[in-house]
Amino acid sequence: MEVRGSTVSPAETMAGNALLDEVRAQLAQIPLLGWLCGTLLATAVEQTVGESLAKALSLPAIPGLFGLRIILSPLFEILLAVIQYRRDIPGLVASLKTIAPDLALIPGAVAFILLVYILPTLIVARLSAPLTNRLAKWLLDRFPLWVSLLLHLGLFYATLHLWGDISEYRMLILRFILISIILTLSLNLVNGYMGEFSCSHPGFMAMGAYASSVLTVLFFVNDDVFGAPLLPPAIGPFMFPLALIIGGLVASVGALAVAIPSFRTRGDYLAIISLAFMFIVKSVIENLEIIGGPRGFMNQPKWANLPIVFAWTAICVWMIYNFTRSTIGKASCAVRDDETAAGAMTINTRRTKMVTFLFAAFWAGVAGGLFAHVMGYINPGTFGVLKLSEVLAMVYLGGLNSVVGSIAGALGLQLLMEVLRPLELWKWIVIPILLIVLMIRRPTGLIAFTEVKIEDLLRPRQTLRSSAQVPGEGR
Amino acid sequence: MPLLQVKNMTHFFGGLRAVHNYNLAIEPGQVRGLIGPNGAGKTTIFNLITGIYRPTEGEIILDGKNLVGFQPYEIAAMGIGRTFQNLRLWRHLTVLEHVKLARYSKIRYGLIGALFGTAERYREEAEIEERAYRLLEMMGIHHVANQVVINLPYGTQRKVEMARALASEPKLLLLDEPTAGMNPEELTEMVQVIRQIRDELGLAIFLIEHRMKVVMDLCETIQTLDFGEVIAEGTPEEIRSNPRVIDAYLGKEGVA
Amino acid sequence: MGRRLKIVIFSLVGVTLVVAFIFLASGMSPASFFQHLLNALQWGSFYALIALGYSMVYGVLMLFNFAHGDIFMVGAYIGWGIATGLVALGMRGILPLPNWLILVLTILLAMFFTSFVGMLVERVGYRPLREAPRASAAITGLMIGIILETGNLALLGAQRRNFPSLIKTQTYHLGPVTVTNVKIMIVFLSLLLMFGLHQFVRRTKWGMAMRAMAYDFVVVPLMGVPMNTIAALTFGLGSALAAAAGIFFGIAYPVLEPYMGILVGWKAFVAAILGGRGSILGAALAGFLLGFIEIFVAAIFPSTLRDVIAYSIILLILTFRPHGFFGEPYSARLRL
């Protein structure tokens, strides 16, 4: 094939490819354990020398989100200035001058990312690879899977904690991302695994948020409306999981009200009924003066700190992963693909749909409860069409029918929304356009219908030489 | 006592009488055929037996139990497996998953096991998988066990559907045109498979078929259906020479 | 035909009965009752016009056009732009037009331009996804809606716009009931547009093609019906009606804001479903019904309860008539 307009000669490309292959081969030897050690060290580096390094690189502070904002926002500003002063050249120059100092920060930010995140991670991960490989193998061989899993989760949590410790902002973003993961995964159960289109997730979230908030405020907080705490506030944090679970159950009961009329017939009825349900929930809350009505409900104790949110997210991912891999869970995929055939193969289709839907609603409720106790304040306006668009976008961005996809979707969209914050209003034009393009290119999302087995994630990576004999290695 | 007995079954779609006064008795281990021109109501009879439609009148008795009014999944769990005329596979699932899912009603670990991944669940899943592999081996499709069905050739898909129906451990297997759309090679293979199923698993088979050769080869007795009514019943030889059957297929003033 | 007629008669009788029941149960005076009835007709005609667009798209292409509420908003703004522009031209003496002509021009031009917005939405957001799962198209619809809202905010700013008052409001007193010429005009024009659409769908070749597509969009394109043209036409027609609704809304409640589509659009969507898939009559009736419910709920109960009660009634109806008023039972071809 003729390569036109390419300045790179074939030989050069091949050399480039060879280098890339070599890098890829080197990286393929690192097990997950190694990567986690690397990131942990990187965050530790940031903890210890981040401040002074940032100062040395003449950055005002440690970059919040991997310096993405520092790099992108001047570019946006230039773009906006160009749009604003199309014909007014002096004005353009003047405004560009005000942007210039921001622009000067970019090299520093890039250097910071390289020095603090990328290099330490790569070096530690690669150097420790022989050790971590052996460790991963030993863990898997000698102990049950969950020991290794817990170790990985622990390391991951430590990384997150160190990273989030730098600023209040990071802590908040992290918890929002984790909550979004719960929401996205649970909605994916309905829209992906079950193939229905549910719009009531914000409603379930609101039910969970309000139910758990009422419980915690009633029992553990001195509130104007609910009066003195019924139980000593000291035991509150221990009862918090119970409040969340009750919130989830309340959401499940709400889901029952949606499920009973809509699962009698197949088709679009779930979409409409769940949409109406969402509006009803919002409107009912607005009419309940005791929980603040349209003004919102506040005074929730902020118990949903990072470890709590992380633990709940881990439990949610684990349970949904378990569920979707079991034959009972896969029955919902069978119902989605062909309901008649599912019935003829002994699958109780109605029960399957109910169970999946209620389970999804439960997690939406838990996510709502966590959200309420992160913010310490909720109002019904939060749980409307915008939230629905957001969660749906996360599900379809990440990919239907995929646990990893949902995690990626929640993470991706949440980060995107943060990174594009300097765009202000235009953010809500750029993100939808990106999503539309994505939908046209990949209608089922980025990582749809892909399963990653935990065993595969945790397993040691062979060195390249010996991997040739092992089939299925180093895909 | 016959395994399955259908007594005076009649079914209306609105004002249209699709099946009229239909009777059937299948003994264990028997292979029975159901033939008839297009639109005679053959598939409707299958749908009535498997509970997709509820008969307007009549009884369907399996092992002494009346099936009328039960949901399709309950009837399937009682021991009637089926395949469909137009393949009804689950397009995003693998062959192995198909076969495993057909054992849904026999799973004992329940929701708790599914959610929390108990040891019992893994043991049971392994057991189901083991059985599924054996079944796939018997059908000769174990090499595609982990492929998504939509990518498989047509003949293989037919076999997947049959393996799936067998995995629910039916006492009676309903095959709706098992050889439809197959090339001659696939056809002989399929006939072989059906024979093997009958011989090795010893279940009763009731099949709808358009290819006379297949029906004549496989079935002990054959029913001929026309306009929802049985017009002839007997051994292949009897059916072949029955003038009413010839009429039904070729028309009354059929080409001489 | 006989069956259809029967349905129409039955539903009219039903509506009358419900209205009579509300009248008796609420204990309103006849005067205030008729006042509310008139308001309900006007309010319902917005819903009905918008619901028609949802219903047509849903009927022909089996899609939820989640951007339709925002097309209503765009239509209102286009109408506002044209009307303000023409009034300004008249003020400067460049193009002095009588007010009624400005109104007519505004309605016609806004419908014309908005139909192109609708076709653009179809071309950009829905056509590339026709083979994709329908849910993905729903996502693009939601996203286009957000783009339209935010785009409006970015271009015109957050302040509310006032629709120029083109007709001098005249109030007629029929006994204790007050009637304004604006209300009568809005209701009359809405009914006229609906009737026009009905005739278009029943009598023209294009209308027949649309009905055929609604019946089966897999086979019909194979019969030589140009699917893309029909899809564009469906979106165009629906958007034109939404634009008309937008202008009427602007005339009746002269405040426009970028998020007005959310407020009205989603409810109209639910009304469209209530009417039954692809049923023009159903969508119109359901729109008016929703108008009645909302106005009377607000009249009898605290107005904050309006949404709860309206949606609950809809849920109740859908529970017992899952296919809406005039929808045929069908099995959705879920293309996942």
Asked, for residue B118, whether it belongs to a domain, the answer is no
pLDDT score recorded for residue B251: 65
* Helices assigned H by DSSP within chain C: 2-26, 30-61, 68-91, 99-121, 134-156, 181-203, 205-215, 227-252, 260-275, 280-300, 306-320
Q: What's the pLDDT at A2?
A: 40
Which residues 170-199 in chain A show a CB within 8 A of chain C?
191, 195, 197
C288: pLDDT strictly greater than 80: yes
Total domain count, chain C: 1
Q: Chains that contact A by 3+ CB pairs under 8 Å?
A: B, C
Q: Is the pLDDT of residue A467 over 50?
A: no
Strand, helix or coil for residue A263: coil
Q: What is the CATH number of domain A167-456?
A: 1.10.3470
**How much of chain A exceeds pLDDT 90, in percent?**
42
The amino acid occupying position A334 is A
Does C334 lie at the interface with A, CB-CB under 8 angstroms?
Answer: yes
Closest approach of A16 to chain C, Cα-based (Å): 36
Q: Is A264 on the interface with C (CB under 8 A)?
A: yes
Mean of pLDDT over chain C: 85
User: Cα–chain-centroid distance for residue A149?
Assistant: 19
Tell me if C140 and A428 make a contact (CB, 8 A cut-off): no
Give me the domain span that covers residue C153.
40-320
Separation CA A163–CA A47 (nearest Å): 8
| Whether A277 contacts chain C with CB within 8 A | yes
**With an 8 Å Cβ cutoff, is C142 touching chain A?**
yes
Of A346, A354, A355, A400, which to mutate for an interface test with B (greatest number of B Cβ within 10 Å)?
A: A346
Band (C45; pLDDT cuts 50, 70, 90)? very high
Which tokens in the block code for residue C256?
């426009």
B199, two tokens: 């011989």
Inspect the interface and report whether the beta carbons of C331 and A286 lie closer than 8 Å.
no
Largest interatomic CA distance in chain B = 70
Q: What angle do CA B249, B198, B108 make, to 5 degrees?
A: 115
| Nearest CB to C133; choose among A268, A431, A443 | A443
Least confident piece of the model among A111-120, A353-362, C45-54: A111-120
Is residue B64 included in any domain, yes or no? yes
Cβ-defined contact of A328 to B111 (cutoff 8 Å) = yes
Please give the pLDDT value at position C144.
94
User: A328 and B114: CB-CB below 8 Å?
Assistant: yes
Residue B133: inside a domain: no
| Contact (Cβ atoms closer than 8 angstroms) between residue C46 and residue C248 | yes
pLDDT tens sequence across C132-181: 888 888 889 999 999 999 999 988 888 888 888 888 788 888 777 788 88
CATH number for the domain spanning C246: value is 1.10.3470
Give the model's pLDDT for residue B166. 92
Q: What was the pLDDT predicted at A462?
A: 67
pLDDT value for A203: 96
pLDDT at position A380 is: 93
Res A425 pLDDT > 90: no
Band of pLDDT at residue A10, cut at 50, 70 and 90: low
More confident residue, B13 or C335: B13
DSSP letter for each residue of A179-196? HHHHHHHHHHIIIIIS--
Task: List chain C residues with CB under 8 Å of A276.
Answer: 270, 311, 314-315, 318
- The series of mean pLDDT values per 10 residues for chain B, 256 residues long, is 90 88 91 88 92 91 91 93 91 93 90 89 92 91 92 90 92 90 86 87 89 86 90 88 81 48
Does some domain include residue B97? no
Residues of chain C with pLDDT > 90, as a percent, come to 29
From the CA of B115, how many Å to the nearest CA of chain A?
5
Indicate yes or no: CB of A327 within 8 angstroms of CB of B104.
yes
Amino acid in position A55: K
Does B73 reach chain A within 8 Å, measured CB to CB? yes
CB-based contacts of A339, cutoff 8 Å, min separation 6: A266, A349
Say which range, A320-324, B169-173, B176-180, C44-48, has the weakest mean pLDDT.
B176-180
Output the CA angle A50-A56-A59, nearest 5 degrees. 75
Residues 6+ positions from C80 with CB-CB distance below 8 Å: C161, C163, C164, C250, C256
Q: Which chain A residues have a beta carbon less than 8 Å from that of B106?
A: 346
> Is residue B75 a part of any domain in this protein?
yes
Q: Which neighbouring-strand residues pair with B26?
A: B4
Per-domain residue ranges for chain A?
Answer: 32-128+136-143, 167-456
Query: B62 forms bridges with which residues in the sheet?
Result: B4, B65
**Cα nearest neighbour of A269 on chain C:** C322
* Element at A373 (helix H, strand E): helix A349-375
Give the tokens for residue B227.
């306009």
More confident residue, B12 or A267: B12
The more confident residue out of A16 and C310 is C310
CB atoms B90 and A338 under 8 Å:
yes
Backbone angles phi, psi at A389, to 5 degrees: -60, -40
Residue B233 lies in a domain: yes
Whether residue B121 is contained in a domain is answered as no
CB contact under 8 A, C308 and A428: no
Burial class, A218, CB count within 10 angstroms (exposed 0-12 / middle 13-18 / buried 19+)? middle
CA distance B182 to chain A (A): 21
- Which of C102-116, C189-203, C242-256, C277-291 comes out lowest in average pLDDT? C277-291
Which residues of A lie inside 8 Å of B (Cβ-Cβ)?
Answer: 318-319, 322-323, 326-331, 333-334, 336-338, 340-349, 355, 359, 401, 449
Q: Does C331 touch chain A (CB under 8 A)?
A: yes
pLDDT at residue A468, rounded to an integer: 42
Q: What is the domain range of residue B73?
A: 4-89+154-250
Q: Do A327 and B105 touch (CB under 8 A)?
A: no
Cα(C11)–Cα(C282) distance, rounded to whole angstroms? 10
pLDDT average, residue stretch C241-258: 91
Nearest CA in chain A to C319: A261
Whether the CB-CB separation of C239 and C71 falls below 8 Å is answered with yes
Nearest to C150 among A275, A287, A428 (CB): A428
pLDDT at C202 over 60: yes
CB contact under 8 Å between A327 and B73, yes or no, is no
* Tens digit of each residue's pLDDT (9 = 90 or more) over A355-364: 999 999 999 9
Subunit contact A333:B73, Cβ cutoff 8 A = no
Residue C160 has a pLDDT of 85
- The CATH number covering residue B179 comes to 3.40.50.300
From chain A, pick out residues whose CB is under 8 angstroms from the CB of C305.
283, 287
Does the beta-carbon distance from B72 to A449 stay under 8 Å? Answer: no
Q: Distances in Å between the alpha carbon of C115 and those of A97, A278, A373, C81, C242?
A: 44, 30, 46, 16, 9
| B204-208 and B31-35 beta bridge pairing | parallel
Name the neighbours of B, counting chains with at least 3 Cβ pairs within 8 A.
Answer: A
When mean pLDDT is compared over A65-74, B236-245, C70-79, the highest value belongs to C70-79
Closest residue in chain A to residue C316, using alpha carbons only: A261
Q: Which residues of C touch A197 (CB under 8 A)?
A: 134-135, 138
